[in-house]
Amino acid sequence: MTEKQTVNLTINGEEVEAPAGEMLIKVCHDRGLDVPFFCYHPGLVPEGNCRMCLVEVVKAPKPMPACTTPVTEGMEIETHSEPAKAARSDVLEFMLANHPLDCPICDKSGECMLQDNSYAHGNDASRMVDVKQLKPTKELGNGVRLWGNRCISCTRCVRFCSDIAGSGELTMVNRGDRSVVDAFPGYPLQNPLSGNVVDICPVGALISEDFLYQARVWYEKKTDSVCHECSRGCNVEIQTLHNEVKRIVARHNDSVNDYWICDHGRYTYDYVLGPERALEYRLDDSSGPADAPALLARKLKSLVDEHGADSLGVLASAFMSNETLYLLGSVLKELDVPVENIAACARADGKEETFKGGFKISADRNPNRRGVEAILGPSAFSSRAEGLLEKSKGPGLRGLVLVSDLPGQPLPAEWIEALNSADFGLVFLLENDSRIGEEVSLIPATAFSERDGSIINEDGRIQLVQAATQLPRGALRLDDLLQDVLVELGAREGRISQRGLFDEMAAIIPALKGARHAEVGKTGLSLDGGEE
Protein backbone atom coordinates (compact mmCIF):
# COMPACT_ATOMS: atom_id res chain seq x y z
CA MET A 1 0.00 0.00 0.00
CA THR A 2 1.52 3.32 -1.08
CA GLU A 3 1.62 6.34 1.19
CA LYS A 4 -0.99 9.03 0.65
CA GLN A 5 0.34 11.86 -1.52
CA THR A 6 1.16 15.03 0.39
CA VAL A 7 1.41 18.69 -0.55
CA ASN A 8 3.42 21.57 0.90
CA LEU A 9 1.73 24.83 1.85
CA THR A 10 2.28 27.80 4.12
CA ILE A 11 -0.05 28.65 7.01
CA ASN A 12 0.61 31.90 8.88
CA GLY A 13 4.17 31.93 7.54
CA GLU A 14 4.94 28.36 8.62
CA GLU A 15 5.79 25.61 6.14
CA VAL A 16 3.28 22.75 6.49
CA GLU A 17 2.98 19.32 4.91
CA ALA A 18 -0.53 17.89 4.61
CA PRO A 19 -2.34 15.10 2.73
CA ALA A 20 -3.42 16.15 -0.73
CA GLY A 21 -7.11 17.00 -0.85
CA GLU A 22 -7.46 17.44 2.92
CA MET A 23 -9.81 20.25 3.83
CA LEU A 24 -7.99 23.32 5.06
CA ILE A 25 -10.00 23.54 8.29
CA LYS A 26 -8.84 20.09 9.41
CA VAL A 27 -5.22 20.89 8.60
CA CYS A 28 -5.49 24.05 10.71
CA HIS A 29 -7.25 22.33 13.62
CA ASP A 30 -4.71 19.51 13.62
CA ARG A 31 -2.06 22.15 14.24
CA GLY A 32 -3.99 23.87 17.01
CA LEU A 33 -5.01 26.92 14.99
CA ASP A 34 -8.27 28.59 15.97
CA VAL A 35 -10.38 28.67 12.83
CA PRO A 36 -13.96 29.23 14.05
CA PHE A 37 -16.93 27.46 12.49
CA PHE A 38 -20.60 26.61 12.89
CA CYS A 39 -21.76 24.34 10.07
CA TYR A 40 -18.60 22.23 9.87
CA HIS A 41 -18.62 18.93 11.76
CA PRO A 42 -15.93 16.25 11.33
CA GLY A 43 -18.58 13.52 11.12
CA LEU A 44 -20.59 15.24 8.36
CA VAL A 45 -19.95 16.19 4.74
CA PRO A 46 -18.96 19.91 4.69
CA GLU A 47 -21.21 22.37 2.88
CA GLY A 48 -19.80 25.81 3.74
CA ASN A 49 -23.17 27.29 4.76
CA CYS A 50 -22.21 29.53 7.64
CA ARG A 51 -19.02 31.12 6.18
CA MET A 52 -17.63 31.49 9.71
CA CYS A 53 -14.40 29.68 8.80
CA LEU A 54 -13.30 32.25 6.20
CA VAL A 55 -9.52 32.55 5.84
CA GLU A 56 -7.36 34.62 3.51
CA VAL A 57 -5.84 32.66 0.65
CA VAL A 58 -3.05 34.59 -1.03
CA LYS A 59 -3.92 35.45 -4.67
CA ALA A 60 -7.59 34.55 -4.12
CA PRO A 61 -9.94 37.49 -4.81
CA LYS A 62 -11.75 37.16 -1.46
CA PRO A 63 -11.60 35.10 1.79
CA MET A 64 -12.33 31.40 1.30
CA PRO A 65 -14.27 28.96 3.54
CA ALA A 66 -11.72 26.63 5.12
CA CYS A 67 -14.21 23.75 5.48
CA THR A 68 -14.71 23.31 1.73
CA THR A 69 -11.29 24.42 0.44
CA PRO A 70 -8.89 21.50 -0.15
CA VAL A 71 -5.18 22.15 0.34
CA THR A 72 -3.05 22.35 -2.78
CA GLU A 73 0.66 22.55 -3.50
CA GLY A 74 2.14 25.98 -2.78
CA MET A 75 -0.99 27.43 -1.18
CA GLU A 76 -0.40 30.36 1.21
CA ILE A 77 -2.92 30.87 3.99
CA GLU A 78 -3.43 33.55 6.64
CA THR A 79 -5.96 32.54 9.29
CA HIS A 80 -5.86 35.72 11.37
CA SER A 81 -5.16 38.48 8.86
CA GLU A 82 -7.26 41.63 8.97
CA PRO A 83 -9.38 40.64 5.92
CA ALA A 84 -10.12 37.23 7.48
CA LYS A 85 -11.07 38.69 10.87
CA ALA A 86 -13.21 41.39 9.28
CA ALA A 87 -15.06 38.79 7.18
CA ARG A 88 -15.84 36.65 10.25
CA SER A 89 -17.02 39.68 12.18
CA ASP A 90 -19.43 40.55 9.36
CA VAL A 91 -20.74 36.96 9.28
CA LEU A 92 -21.43 37.08 13.00
CA GLU A 93 -23.23 40.40 12.69
CA PHE A 94 -25.62 38.87 10.15
CA MET A 95 -26.21 35.82 12.36
CA LEU A 96 -26.91 37.90 15.43
CA ALA A 97 -29.23 40.33 13.64
CA ASN A 98 -32.30 38.20 14.41
CA HIS A 99 -30.91 36.02 17.17
CA PRO A 100 -32.69 36.55 20.52
CA LEU A 101 -30.78 37.54 23.63
CA ASP A 102 -32.12 34.60 25.68
CA CYS A 103 -28.85 33.04 26.84
CA PRO A 104 -30.01 33.18 30.51
CA ILE A 105 -32.83 30.70 29.79
CA CYS A 106 -31.24 28.69 26.96
CA ASP A 107 -30.09 25.14 27.76
CA LYS A 108 -27.20 25.51 25.33
CA SER A 109 -25.69 28.31 27.40
CA GLY A 110 -22.21 27.35 28.51
CA GLU A 111 -21.54 25.15 25.49
CA CYS A 112 -22.94 27.40 22.74
CA MET A 113 -20.61 28.00 19.80
CA LEU A 114 -22.40 31.27 19.02
CA GLN A 115 -21.53 32.58 22.48
CA ASP A 116 -17.90 31.53 22.12
CA ASN A 117 -17.43 32.82 18.60
CA SER A 118 -19.21 36.10 19.33
CA TYR A 119 -16.88 36.73 22.23
CA ALA A 120 -13.73 35.78 20.33
CA HIS A 121 -14.49 37.06 16.83
CA GLY A 122 -17.53 39.38 16.92
CA ASN A 123 -18.19 43.06 17.49
CA ASP A 124 -18.73 44.48 20.95
CA ALA A 125 -22.04 46.16 20.00
CA SER A 126 -24.96 45.56 17.66
CA ARG A 127 -26.07 47.94 14.90
CA MET A 128 -29.45 46.18 14.56
CA VAL A 129 -32.38 48.62 14.89
CA ASP A 130 -35.12 46.77 12.99
CA VAL A 131 -37.64 44.40 14.56
CA LYS A 132 -36.28 40.85 14.75
CA GLN A 133 -37.87 38.09 12.68
CA LEU A 134 -39.93 35.65 14.76
CA LYS A 135 -39.71 31.94 13.94
CA PRO A 136 -41.65 28.93 15.27
CA THR A 137 -41.15 27.09 18.55
CA LYS A 138 -42.50 23.56 18.26
CA GLU A 139 -41.90 19.87 18.93
CA LEU A 140 -40.22 18.10 16.03
CA GLY A 141 -40.62 14.57 17.41
CA ASN A 142 -38.83 12.06 19.69
CA GLY A 143 -38.59 14.62 22.47
CA VAL A 144 -36.67 17.17 20.37
CA ARG A 145 -37.99 20.75 20.46
CA LEU A 146 -37.23 23.54 18.00
CA TRP A 147 -36.58 27.14 19.06
CA GLY A 148 -36.66 28.64 15.59
CA ASN A 149 -35.53 32.11 16.70
CA ARG A 150 -32.14 30.66 17.66
CA CYS A 151 -31.55 28.73 14.42
CA ILE A 152 -28.58 29.94 12.34
CA SER A 153 -29.35 27.71 9.31
CA CYS A 154 -26.13 25.69 9.59
CA THR A 155 -27.97 22.54 8.30
CA ARG A 156 -25.99 20.20 10.59
CA CYS A 157 -29.22 18.49 11.70
CA VAL A 158 -30.52 18.25 8.13
CA ARG A 159 -27.31 16.63 6.92
CA PHE A 160 -27.28 14.24 9.86
CA CYS A 161 -30.81 12.98 9.16
CA SER A 162 -30.04 12.66 5.46
CA ASP A 163 -26.48 11.29 5.44
CA ILE A 164 -26.09 9.44 8.77
CA ALA A 165 -29.57 8.32 9.86
CA GLY A 166 -30.77 8.05 6.26
CA SER A 167 -34.29 9.14 7.25
CA GLY A 168 -34.31 12.74 5.98
CA GLU A 169 -37.09 14.12 8.19
CA LEU A 170 -35.59 17.61 8.53
CA THR A 171 -35.17 20.32 5.93
CA MET A 172 -34.67 24.09 5.65
CA VAL A 173 -37.78 26.14 4.89
CA ASN A 174 -38.09 29.76 3.69
CA ARG A 175 -35.21 31.93 2.48
CA GLY A 176 -32.99 34.77 3.65
CA ASP A 177 -33.39 35.85 7.26
CA ARG A 178 -36.62 33.83 7.49
CA SER A 179 -34.81 30.55 6.85
CA VAL A 180 -35.25 27.94 9.62
CA VAL A 181 -35.03 24.19 10.08
CA ASP A 182 -38.29 22.25 10.23
CA ALA A 183 -39.73 18.76 9.79
CA PHE A 184 -41.65 17.73 6.67
CA PRO A 185 -45.43 17.91 7.25
CA GLY A 186 -46.70 14.57 8.49
CA TYR A 187 -43.17 13.20 8.96
CA PRO A 188 -41.98 14.02 12.50
CA LEU A 189 -38.43 13.41 13.64
CA GLN A 190 -38.59 9.76 14.66
CA ASN A 191 -35.41 7.95 13.64
CA PRO A 192 -33.61 5.98 16.41
CA LEU A 193 -30.63 8.38 16.29
CA SER A 194 -32.64 11.60 16.57
CA GLY A 195 -31.05 12.78 19.84
CA ASN A 196 -27.79 13.39 18.01
CA VAL A 197 -29.25 16.47 16.31
CA VAL A 198 -29.37 18.12 19.74
CA ASP A 199 -25.70 17.27 20.37
CA ILE A 200 -24.51 18.69 17.07
CA CYS A 201 -26.68 21.81 17.00
CA PRO A 202 -24.11 24.59 17.57
CA VAL A 203 -26.68 26.88 19.20
CA GLY A 204 -29.86 26.35 21.25
CA ALA A 205 -32.20 25.82 18.32
CA LEU A 206 -32.70 22.10 19.01
CA ILE A 207 -33.17 21.13 22.66
CA SER A 208 -33.99 17.78 24.27
CA GLU A 209 -37.14 17.80 26.39
CA ASP A 210 -35.41 15.25 28.59
CA PHE A 211 -32.79 17.84 29.61
CA LEU A 212 -34.92 20.99 29.35
CA TYR A 213 -34.20 23.31 32.32
CA GLN A 214 -32.60 20.45 34.27
CA ALA A 215 -29.10 21.80 34.89
CA ARG A 216 -26.50 24.34 33.86
CA VAL A 217 -23.71 22.52 32.08
CA TRP A 218 -20.92 24.26 34.02
CA TYR A 219 -22.24 22.77 37.28
CA GLU A 220 -22.32 19.21 35.97
CA LYS A 221 -19.69 16.56 36.51
CA LYS A 222 -18.75 14.90 33.22
CA THR A 223 -17.48 11.32 33.17
CA ASP A 224 -16.21 9.33 30.20
CA SER A 225 -17.81 5.90 30.09
CA VAL A 226 -19.39 3.27 27.82
CA CYS A 227 -23.05 2.73 26.94
CA HIS A 228 -24.60 -0.44 28.41
CA GLU A 229 -27.69 -0.74 26.24
CA CYS A 230 -26.27 -3.11 23.62
CA SER A 231 -23.08 -5.00 22.86
CA ARG A 232 -21.82 -2.25 20.52
CA GLY A 233 -20.27 -0.45 23.48
CA CYS A 234 -20.68 3.12 22.22
CA ASN A 235 -18.47 5.64 23.99
CA VAL A 236 -20.48 8.16 25.98
CA GLU A 237 -20.11 11.02 28.43
CA ILE A 238 -22.33 10.78 31.51
CA GLN A 239 -23.25 14.20 32.90
CA THR A 240 -24.39 14.29 36.52
CA LEU A 241 -25.48 16.81 39.13
CA HIS A 242 -26.08 16.10 42.84
CA ASN A 243 -25.43 12.40 42.20
CA GLU A 244 -28.17 12.18 39.54
CA VAL A 245 -27.64 11.37 35.89
CA LYS A 246 -28.89 14.42 33.99
CA ARG A 247 -27.81 13.63 30.46
CA ILE A 248 -25.87 11.11 28.39
CA VAL A 249 -24.19 12.35 25.20
CA ALA A 250 -22.01 10.74 22.55
CA ARG A 251 -18.23 10.62 22.88
CA HIS A 252 -16.10 10.31 19.74
CA ASN A 253 -14.46 6.96 18.98
CA ASP A 254 -13.71 6.14 15.33
CA SER A 255 -13.35 2.43 16.10
CA VAL A 256 -16.74 1.97 17.75
CA ASN A 257 -19.44 4.62 17.29
CA ASP A 258 -17.84 7.55 15.46
CA TYR A 259 -19.61 10.66 16.89
CA TRP A 260 -23.04 9.16 17.54
CA ILE A 261 -25.19 7.16 19.96
CA CYS A 262 -28.74 5.84 19.63
CA ASP A 263 -31.72 7.23 21.54
CA HIS A 264 -32.09 4.05 23.58
CA GLY A 265 -28.60 4.44 25.01
CA ARG A 266 -29.08 8.19 25.41
CA TYR A 267 -32.31 8.16 27.40
CA THR A 268 -32.34 4.84 29.29
CA TYR A 269 -31.04 5.81 32.70
CA ASP A 270 -34.09 6.66 34.81
CA TYR A 271 -33.86 3.33 36.65
CA VAL A 272 -30.54 4.30 38.28
CA LEU A 273 -32.29 6.25 41.05
CA GLY A 274 -35.89 5.60 40.07
CA PRO A 275 -38.70 4.57 42.43
CA GLU A 276 -38.28 0.90 41.49
CA ARG A 277 -34.59 0.81 42.42
CA ALA A 278 -33.84 -1.87 45.03
CA LEU A 279 -31.79 -0.38 47.88
CA GLU A 280 -32.53 -2.73 50.78
CA TYR A 281 -29.86 -4.89 52.43
CA ARG A 282 -31.47 -8.03 53.85
CA LEU A 283 -29.02 -10.63 55.16
CA ASP A 284 -30.48 -10.78 58.66
CA ASP A 285 -32.71 -8.59 60.81
CA SER A 286 -30.11 -5.88 61.44
CA SER A 287 -27.77 -6.06 58.50
CA GLY A 288 -26.59 -3.08 56.47
CA PRO A 289 -23.78 -2.21 54.06
CA ALA A 290 -21.10 -2.39 56.76
CA ASP A 291 -22.20 -5.87 57.91
CA ALA A 292 -22.78 -7.36 54.47
CA PRO A 293 -19.27 -8.73 53.65
CA ALA A 294 -18.81 -10.60 56.94
CA LEU A 295 -22.38 -11.93 56.96
CA LEU A 296 -22.24 -13.05 53.34
CA ALA A 297 -18.87 -14.76 53.76
CA ARG A 298 -20.11 -16.54 56.89
CA LYS A 299 -23.36 -17.73 55.28
CA LEU A 300 -21.64 -19.01 52.13
CA LYS A 301 -18.88 -20.75 54.12
CA SER A 302 -21.41 -22.33 56.48
CA LEU A 303 -23.51 -23.64 53.57
CA VAL A 304 -20.52 -25.17 51.80
CA ASP A 305 -19.08 -26.68 55.00
CA GLU A 306 -22.40 -28.27 55.89
CA HIS A 307 -23.63 -29.49 52.49
CA GLY A 308 -20.53 -29.51 50.28
CA ALA A 309 -19.28 -27.19 47.55
CA ASP A 310 -21.64 -28.74 45.01
CA SER A 311 -24.61 -27.45 47.01
CA LEU A 312 -24.12 -23.82 45.91
CA GLY A 313 -25.14 -22.46 42.51
CA VAL A 314 -24.63 -18.99 41.03
CA LEU A 315 -26.29 -17.18 38.13
CA ALA A 316 -24.23 -14.17 36.96
CA SER A 317 -25.30 -11.71 34.26
CA ALA A 318 -24.10 -10.14 31.03
CA PHE A 319 -24.39 -6.68 32.63
CA MET A 320 -21.58 -7.35 35.10
CA SER A 321 -18.12 -5.92 34.44
CA ASN A 322 -15.12 -8.17 33.85
CA GLU A 323 -13.75 -7.29 37.27
CA THR A 324 -17.00 -8.19 39.05
CA LEU A 325 -17.18 -11.48 37.19
CA TYR A 326 -13.58 -12.21 38.09
CA LEU A 327 -14.13 -11.40 41.79
CA LEU A 328 -17.30 -13.48 41.90
CA GLY A 329 -15.39 -16.36 40.34
CA SER A 330 -12.59 -15.88 42.89
CA VAL A 331 -15.08 -16.16 45.79
CA LEU A 332 -16.54 -19.35 44.35
CA LYS A 333 -13.08 -20.76 43.68
CA GLU A 334 -12.15 -20.09 47.31
CA LEU A 335 -15.26 -22.09 48.31
CA ASP A 336 -14.37 -24.87 45.81
CA VAL A 337 -17.69 -24.46 43.96
CA PRO A 338 -17.46 -26.47 40.69
CA VAL A 339 -17.57 -24.52 37.44
CA GLU A 340 -20.69 -26.42 36.35
CA ASN A 341 -22.57 -24.60 39.09
CA ILE A 342 -21.77 -21.14 37.65
CA ALA A 343 -24.03 -19.91 34.85
CA ALA A 344 -25.13 -16.55 33.43
CA CYS A 345 -28.27 -14.81 32.17
CA ALA A 346 -28.74 -12.10 29.55
CA ARG A 347 -31.39 -9.78 28.19
CA ALA A 348 -33.36 -11.04 25.21
CA ASP A 349 -32.09 -10.01 21.79
CA GLY A 350 -33.66 -7.09 19.97
CA LYS A 351 -33.49 -6.01 16.35
CA GLU A 352 -30.18 -5.19 14.70
CA GLU A 353 -30.21 -1.89 12.83
CA THR A 354 -27.56 -0.46 10.51
CA PHE A 355 -27.92 3.09 9.25
CA LYS A 356 -26.85 4.89 6.08
CA GLY A 357 -23.78 6.44 7.70
CA GLY A 358 -22.59 3.05 9.00
CA PHE A 359 -23.76 3.40 12.62
CA LYS A 360 -25.02 0.12 14.05
CA ILE A 361 -27.37 -0.86 16.88
CA SER A 362 -26.58 -4.43 17.88
CA ALA A 363 -29.27 -7.07 18.30
CA ASP A 364 -27.48 -8.22 21.46
CA ARG A 365 -28.89 -5.98 24.22
CA ASN A 366 -26.14 -6.88 26.71
CA PRO A 367 -22.94 -4.86 27.20
CA ASN A 368 -20.60 -7.66 28.30
CA ARG A 369 -21.65 -11.01 26.82
CA ARG A 370 -18.13 -11.41 25.41
CA GLY A 371 -16.68 -10.74 28.87
CA VAL A 372 -18.82 -13.45 30.45
CA GLU A 373 -17.79 -15.89 27.75
CA ALA A 374 -14.11 -14.99 28.25
CA ILE A 375 -14.21 -15.35 32.04
CA LEU A 376 -16.90 -17.97 32.75
CA GLY A 377 -16.80 -19.83 29.45
CA PRO A 378 -19.04 -19.77 26.33
CA SER A 379 -21.48 -22.35 27.74
CA ALA A 380 -22.42 -20.13 30.72
CA PHE A 381 -25.53 -18.81 28.94
CA SER A 382 -26.67 -22.11 27.45
CA SER A 383 -25.95 -25.61 28.71
CA ARG A 384 -24.65 -24.57 32.14
CA ALA A 385 -27.62 -22.27 32.74
CA GLU A 386 -30.04 -25.03 31.74
CA GLY A 387 -28.16 -27.55 33.88
CA LEU A 388 -28.10 -25.27 36.92
CA LEU A 389 -31.84 -24.58 36.64
CA GLU A 390 -32.55 -28.29 36.38
CA LYS A 391 -30.27 -29.02 39.33
CA SER A 392 -32.10 -26.42 41.43
CA LYS A 393 -35.25 -28.53 41.22
CA GLY A 394 -33.58 -31.38 43.08
CA PRO A 395 -32.40 -31.74 46.70
CA GLY A 396 -28.68 -31.36 45.89
CA LEU A 397 -28.59 -27.59 45.39
CA ARG A 398 -29.19 -26.01 48.81
CA GLY A 399 -28.01 -22.45 48.07
CA LEU A 400 -28.65 -20.20 45.06
CA VAL A 401 -27.12 -16.78 44.34
CA LEU A 402 -28.68 -14.76 41.51
CA VAL A 403 -27.50 -11.48 39.96
CA SER A 404 -30.63 -9.66 38.81
CA ASP A 405 -29.18 -6.46 37.33
CA LEU A 406 -30.77 -6.56 33.86
CA PRO A 407 -32.61 -3.21 33.47
CA GLY A 408 -36.22 -3.62 32.46
CA GLN A 409 -36.06 -7.44 32.42
CA PRO A 410 -36.96 -9.30 35.62
CA LEU A 411 -35.65 -12.80 36.17
CA PRO A 412 -37.82 -15.55 34.64
CA ALA A 413 -40.40 -17.12 36.94
CA GLU A 414 -38.56 -20.46 37.10
CA TRP A 415 -35.45 -18.80 38.56
CA ILE A 416 -37.56 -16.92 41.13
CA GLU A 417 -39.22 -20.21 42.09
CA ALA A 418 -35.80 -21.86 42.49
CA LEU A 419 -34.58 -18.90 44.56
CA ASN A 420 -37.58 -18.98 46.89
CA SER A 421 -37.30 -22.74 47.46
CA ALA A 422 -33.56 -22.79 48.26
CA ASP A 423 -32.36 -23.21 51.87
CA PHE A 424 -30.23 -20.11 51.31
CA GLY A 425 -31.30 -17.73 48.57
CA LEU A 426 -29.47 -14.50 47.78
CA VAL A 427 -30.15 -12.03 44.98
CA PHE A 428 -28.17 -8.98 43.96
CA LEU A 429 -31.18 -6.93 42.97
CA LEU A 430 -31.35 -3.83 40.75
CA GLU A 431 -35.11 -3.28 40.59
CA ASN A 432 -37.67 -4.37 43.19
CA ASP A 433 -39.45 -7.65 42.45
CA SER A 434 -42.54 -8.56 44.49
CA ARG A 435 -42.17 -12.25 43.58
CA ILE A 436 -39.09 -12.64 45.78
CA GLY A 437 -39.92 -14.29 49.11
CA GLU A 438 -39.32 -12.76 52.54
CA GLU A 439 -36.72 -15.41 53.43
CA VAL A 440 -34.48 -14.56 50.45
CA SER A 441 -31.45 -12.38 51.26
CA LEU A 442 -31.11 -9.14 49.28
CA ILE A 443 -28.14 -6.97 48.38
CA PRO A 444 -28.50 -3.93 46.06
CA ALA A 445 -26.91 -4.44 42.65
CA THR A 446 -24.58 -1.87 41.12
CA ALA A 447 -26.04 0.16 38.24
CA PHE A 448 -24.01 1.01 35.12
CA SER A 449 -23.26 4.59 36.22
CA GLU A 450 -21.96 3.49 39.63
CA ARG A 451 -19.22 1.12 38.60
CA ASP A 452 -15.60 1.22 37.52
CA GLY A 453 -14.23 -1.60 35.43
CA SER A 454 -14.01 -2.95 31.92
CA ILE A 455 -16.36 -4.60 29.44
CA ILE A 456 -15.84 -6.26 26.05
CA ASN A 457 -17.99 -5.30 23.09
CA GLU A 458 -19.23 -7.58 20.33
CA ASP A 459 -16.07 -7.00 18.28
CA GLY A 460 -13.84 -8.10 21.19
CA ARG A 461 -12.76 -4.58 22.06
CA ILE A 462 -11.96 -4.07 25.76
CA GLN A 463 -13.18 -0.70 27.04
CA LEU A 464 -13.07 1.05 30.41
CA VAL A 465 -16.18 2.06 32.35
CA GLN A 466 -15.94 4.82 34.97
CA ALA A 467 -18.31 5.53 37.85
CA ALA A 468 -20.28 8.75 37.38
CA THR A 469 -22.51 8.45 40.47
CA GLN A 470 -22.21 6.98 43.94
CA LEU A 471 -24.45 4.26 45.32
CA PRO A 472 -27.07 5.84 47.60
CA ARG A 473 -27.19 5.44 51.37
CA GLY A 474 -23.55 4.48 51.66
CA ALA A 475 -24.14 1.17 49.89
CA LEU A 476 -21.19 -0.86 48.64
CA ARG A 477 -20.37 -1.36 45.00
CA LEU A 478 -20.45 -5.02 44.11
CA ASP A 479 -16.69 -5.04 43.41
CA ASP A 480 -15.93 -3.65 46.87
CA LEU A 481 -18.34 -6.07 48.51
CA LEU A 482 -16.77 -9.09 46.81
CA GLN A 483 -13.25 -7.93 47.63
CA ASP A 484 -14.29 -7.61 51.29
CA VAL A 485 -15.83 -11.10 51.16
CA LEU A 486 -12.49 -12.45 49.90
CA VAL A 487 -10.80 -10.70 52.82
CA GLU A 488 -13.25 -12.34 55.23
CA LEU A 489 -12.53 -15.73 53.64
CA GLY A 490 -8.79 -15.17 54.09
CA ALA A 491 -8.04 -15.03 50.35
CA ARG A 492 -6.92 -11.37 50.39
CA GLU A 493 -5.32 -9.02 52.86
CA GLY A 494 -7.34 -6.01 51.71
CA ARG A 495 -8.84 -4.27 48.70
CA ILE A 496 -6.71 -3.41 45.69
CA SER A 497 -7.30 -0.62 43.18
CA GLN A 498 -9.38 -1.06 40.05
CA ARG A 499 -6.23 -0.81 37.97
CA GLY A 500 -4.50 -3.47 40.04
CA LEU A 501 -7.57 -5.68 39.83
CA PHE A 502 -7.63 -5.41 36.03
CA ASP A 503 -3.94 -6.26 35.69
CA GLU A 504 -4.32 -9.20 38.10
CA MET A 505 -7.29 -10.49 36.15
CA ALA A 506 -5.61 -10.05 32.76
CA ALA A 507 -2.59 -12.07 33.96
CA ILE A 508 -4.79 -15.07 34.75
CA ILE A 509 -7.60 -15.17 32.20
CA PRO A 510 -6.33 -16.54 28.85
CA ALA A 511 -8.55 -14.34 26.68
CA LEU A 512 -7.30 -11.18 28.41
CA LYS A 513 -3.62 -11.99 28.68
CA GLY A 514 -1.39 -9.17 27.50
CA ALA A 515 -3.96 -6.47 28.19
CA ARG A 516 -2.90 -3.69 30.56
CA HIS A 517 -5.20 -1.20 32.26
CA ALA A 518 -3.18 1.83 31.17
CA GLU A 519 -3.27 0.78 27.52
CA VAL A 520 -7.00 0.11 27.56
CA GLY A 521 -7.56 3.58 28.98
CA LYS A 522 -5.62 5.18 26.13
CA THR A 523 -6.69 3.24 23.08
CA GLY A 524 -8.85 0.23 23.84
CA LEU A 525 -7.67 -3.27 23.06
CA SER A 526 -8.95 -6.05 20.85
CA LEU A 527 -8.97 -9.64 22.06
CA ASP A 528 -7.60 -10.85 18.76
CA GLY A 529 -5.23 -8.09 17.79
CA GLY A 530 -3.66 -6.28 20.73
CA GLU A 531 -3.59 -2.50 20.70
CA GLU A 532 -5.72 -0.71 18.11
Q: Tens digit of pLDDT for each residue in 272-328?
A: 988 999 998 998 876 678 889 999 999 999 999 999 999 999 999 999 999 999 999
Mark 186-204 as b/e (b = at least 16 C-beta within 10 Å). eeebebbbbbbbbbbbbbb
Geometric angle at alpha carbon 368, from 363 and 372, rounded to 5°:
120
Give dist(CA 395, CA 45) in Å, integer: 65
Residue 365, Cβ density class (10 Å: 0-12 exposed, 13-18 middle, ≥19 buried)? buried
SS3 323: helix
- Report if pTM > 0.95: no
The residue-averaged pLDDT of 93-98 equals 91
The residue-averaged pLDDT of 239-260 equals 95
Q: Which residues pair with 77 in a beta bridge?
A: 11, 57
Q: So what's the pLDDT on residue 527?
A: 54
Please give the domain boundaries of the chain with CATH numbers for all domains.
6-95 (3.10.20.740), 130-273 (3.30.70.20), 289-526 (3.40.50.740)
Q: So what's the pLDDT on residue 413?
A: 95
Reported as a single tens digit per residue, the pLDDT across 348-361 is 999 999 999 999 99
The residue-averaged pLDDT of 167-179 equals 93
pLDDT at residue 503 is higher than 50:
yes
Q: So what's the pLDDT on residue 528?
A: 47
Mean of the per-residue pLDDT values for the chain? 92
Q: Given pLDDT bands bounded at 50, 70 and 90, which one contains residue 509?
A: confident
pLDDT at residue 89 is higher than 70:
yes
Tell which residue, 193, 204, 150, has the closest CA to residue 170: 193
Q: Given pLDDT bands bounded at 50, 70 and 90, which one contains residue 1?
A: very low
SS3 104: helix
Alpha helices in 6-61 (DSSP H): 24-30
pLDDT at residue 2 is higher than 70:
no
Q: So what's the pLDDT on residue 3?
A: 55
Tell which residue, 59, 82, 63, 77, has the closest CA to residue 16: 77
CA dihedral 510, 515, 517, 521 (to 10 degrees): -130
Q: Given pLDDT bands bounded at 50, 70 and 90, which one contains residue 531?
A: very low
Q: Given pLDDT bands bounded at 50, 70 and 90, which one contains residue 524?
A: low
